[in-house]
Structure 1
Amino acid sequence: MGRLSNRAAELSERLTQNVQAVCRHYLPSGRREGRYWMVGDVAGAPGRSLYVRLFETGRGAIGNWVDAATGEHGDLVDLIRLNQRHVRLAETINEAERFLSLPPSAADGTSTSTTFAKPAPAGSTSAAKRLFSASKPLTGSLAASYLRSRGINRAFDLPALRFHPRCYYRANEDDAPGTPGAFPAMIAAVSDDDGVQTGTHRTWLDPTGAKKANVASPRRAMGNILGNAVRLGQADDILIAGEGIETMLSLREVLPTMPMAAATSSAHLAAILFPPSLKRLYVARDRDAAGDAAFGILTNRAKAAGIELVSLMPDFADFNDDLRQHGALGLGEQVRLQLHEQDRTRFSAQ
């Protein structure tokens, strides 16, 4: 078993040098989004619950993957084992050796003379900070018009949100031919518990400001996102965390003094890092399977950390839908009924 384990470790290293080829071969229904390959599960179903890290950073090694829906994780050897439903490690080793014997062109559509160089730790955190610094204040911008179209009126004094009039967009295979290379965008700073910026989130917008841009991936993040979030206020003992920025901004309409965090996706919500002083975490849930899975993982993590977890459920798909359907008064009544009594008084609307 020791020999097999050593061989598996060697193959894992070789597979990471061809990480995109591995993803395209075993998870063909997925696609690259920023620094990750996104897909539904280890079997390769369409979706976004499982992400494979394509670039090495301080947050994780290249080739590592996590399935937010199940909590499974591992390296590329583990991915192949589960994808191929192997029972014995020897089967997976044989499969990995077979795959690595293919010329790169057969697996990834590139020239056989091309070698996949191991990506250097990308300066994406620095690039994320540069993009945020180059962006403009939200007030009076197209992004402000976009948020107002979604019933959000309290966001314009938040230091985490900015606007870029022409933000680069890299089209993928799901975009229509001739998709422009830049759109106006709402820019959000992703930071850790100490307020140190680790990444940037982009929401590309239609030039009318009435909706998101008509592209395959209107939301993308760059930098170190895992565990971090778009912070709306400094958390101490109480925090509301959820997936989308618009979802959390909708709750801020009725709870403006409550600290909040937008994790930007269900996978990142499941992995959000808890402030050391946190006593109670409210989770603003989306009504979908990915949201349910993220809440299940958070339940186990919060219990282990001694943190009380409280579910906040919308009436519709998410709390922005509720804001637009019920208005701020209706949403406020709905949400306050789900809070602890002491928090209703402490974080009353102003």
Structure 2
Amino acid sequence: MTGSASDLARRLGDHAEAVCREYLSNGHRSGNHWIVGDVRNTRGRSMHVRLKANAKGLAGKWVDEATTEFGDLLDVIRESCGFVDFRDAADEARRFLAMPRAPWSTSRAQPQQAAKRGSPDAARRLFAMSQPIAGTLAERYLAGRGILLAARERALRFHPGCYYRDLVTGETQTLPALIAAVTGLDGRITGLQRTYLSPSLSPGLDPSGKVGKAQLIDPRRSLGHLLGNAIWLGLEPGAPIPVMAAGEGFETMASLRTVMPALPVAAATSANHLAGLTFPPGCRRLYIAADADAAGRHGIERLSQRAGEAGIEALVLRPQLGDFNDDLRHLGTARLAAWLTDQLIPEDARLFLPSG
């Protein structure tokens, strides 16, 4: 293999699981391996891709026990995309890794085009290259906000070096970020929201080890197709959701989810997007989370109107302080639960709020 190909294979190996999720999507992770049918992304269990380097070999190396084929992740890209020319496979690898195209690259169309900036494809790729939040700055950030979510929440990931571009100066930097997937009701990612985090914990100033947002003018940014979709916590694609809650901010809705872990919630990311939220099948009651100020009143009123037109009962939940995350942090889960008890339909209070 040429030096260029070896370098690409090594770089792909640094993101072995993300490569597998992108090009071998019919497989699944099992321990330190990605299991799939074959290098052309057929369903099955005969091909094993090593995800982390160990004593047995480098990350990204694979073998198909049924055919005795073996190779690296550059071979995976070539075979799964149906490329014949090495240059096309190398260009696709460079695109995935966000590397410049080689000087000899041609401009002819390829089976898999580069994701456009800000597109759903770009959102899906960034989400795939991120990692679960357990043990990361993202988990510590949420815990510092009083938000404790189950590990099964599939909408949340962490990226240790997410690009941030200053819209005024054009300068870029990489920062750790909490990644929240925006999905449709089918569970397919259509966009995401990035919350950029402080890269240092400043233990001398903060003995608790809490992680804050990065010191930026806009530490939260979204991309992709957001209208009608949301950051869903507790969504089971295709399953009926008779009772749910919706609101603008992710932390507001995650706070309600912390207190009522069985209640599906949707964070629409803005007032306009809240007004256009798509209702799940079987929904008969919708709780809309409000903030203490009137900034999001339009979104609440429009969503309530649309819910009524769809035959869905809409009720507004109001916090005691600025928002429900303020309530969670300053009042605690027990007082927040007690405050919510009087605002919920009695049968919902019994179902979603812990007894006592």
TM-score of the alignment, normalized to the shorter chain, above 0.5: yes
- Corresponding letter in the other structure for 1:280: R
What is the rounded CA distance, in whole Å, between the counterparts of 2:171 and 2:139 in structure 1? 24
What is the rounded CA distance, in whole Å, between the counterparts of 1:168 and 1:122 in structure 2? 12
Maintained 8 Å contact 2:259/2:333: yes
Aligned to 1:147: 142
Aligned to 1:215: 216
SS at match of 1:309: strand
Q: How far did residue 146 of structure 1 move? A: 0.6
Q: How far did residue 270 of structure 1 move? A: 1.3
2:195 aligned to which of 192, 198, 203: 203
Equivalent residue runs for 1:19-34 within 5 Å: none
1:250 aligns with 2:255: yes
Is the deviation greater in 287-296 or in 321-330? 287-296
What is the rounded CA distance, in whole Å, between the counterparts of 1:123 and 1:154 in structure 2? 28
Aligned to 1:232: 233
What is the rounded CA distance, in whole Å, between the counterparts of 1:319 and 1:271 in structure 2? 22
What is the rounded CA distance, in whole Å, between the counterparts of 1:314 and 1:192 in structure 2? 28
Maintained 8 Å contact 2:337/2:353: no
Moved over 6 A (4+): 120-123
1:132 aligned to which of 110, 127, 146: 127
- Corresponding letter in the other structure for 2:167: N
Maintained 8 Å contact 2:118/2:223: no
Unaligned 5+ segments in structure 2 are 1-114, 202-209
1:183 aligns with 2:183: no
Aligned to 2:165: 170
- Corresponding letter in the other structure for 1:312: L
Q: What RMSD, in angstroms, separates the aligned Cα atoms of the two structures?
A: 2.0
Unaligned 5+ segments in structure 1 are 1-119
What is the rounded CA distance, in whole Å, between the counterparts of 1:261 and 1:285 in structure 2? 13
Distance 1:123 1:285, change over 3 A: closer
Q: Which one has the largest radius of gyration?
A: 2
Maintained 8 Å contact 2:246/2:253: yes
Maintained 8 Å contact 2:241/2:283: yes
1:160-214 per-residue CA deviation (whole Å, 9 max, x = no partner) reads 10100010111122xxx79751210000111111212111111111112621111
What is the rounded CA distance, in whole Å, between the counterparts of 1:291 and 1:187 in structure 2? 23
Alignment TM-score, normalising by the size of structure 2:
0.61
Maintained 8 Å contact 2:164/2:175: yes
1:61-88 per-residue CA deviation (whole Å, 9 max, x = no partner) reads xxxxxxxxxxxxxxxxxxxxxxxxxxxx
- Corresponding letter in the other structure for 1:216: I
Percent identical among aligned pairs is 49
- Corresponding letter in the other structure for 2:225: N
What is the rounded CA distance, in whole Å, between the counterparts of 2:170 and 2:148 in structure 1? 34
- Corresponding letter in the other structure for 2:196: W
Maintained 8 Å contact 1:191/1:230: yes
Maintained 8 Å contact 2:146/2:255: yes
Maintained 8 Å contact 2:290/2:300: yes
What is the rounded CA distance, in whole Å, between the counterparts of 1:251 and 1:206 in structure 2? 25
Q: How far did residue 347 of structure 1 move? A: 1.6
SS at match of 1:289: coil
Aligned to 2:86: none
Aligned to 1:301: 306
SS at match of 1:241: strand
Aligned to 1:20: none
Aligned to 2:51: none
SS at match of 1:131: helix
Distance 1:123 1:143, change over 3 A: closer
What is the rounded CA distance, in whole Å, between the counterparts of 2:293 and 2:335 in structure 1? 22
Aligned to 1:261: 266
What is the rounded CA distance, in whole Å, between the counterparts of 1:141 and 1:297 in structure 2? 38
What is the rounded CA distance, in whole Å, between the counterparts of 1:157 and 1:308 in structure 2? 29
Aligned to 1:64: none
Distance 1:146 1:179, change over 3 A: farther
Q: How far did residue 293 of structure 1 move? A: 1.5
SS at match of 1:140: coil
Maintained 8 Å contact 2:116/2:122: no
Equivalent residue runs for 1:1-350 within 5 Å: 124-173=119-168, 181-207=173-199, 208=201, 210-234=211-235, 236-349=241-354
Maintained 8 Å contact 1:257/1:349: no
What is the rounded CA distance, in whole Å, between the counterparts of 2:307 and 2:147 in structure 1? 30
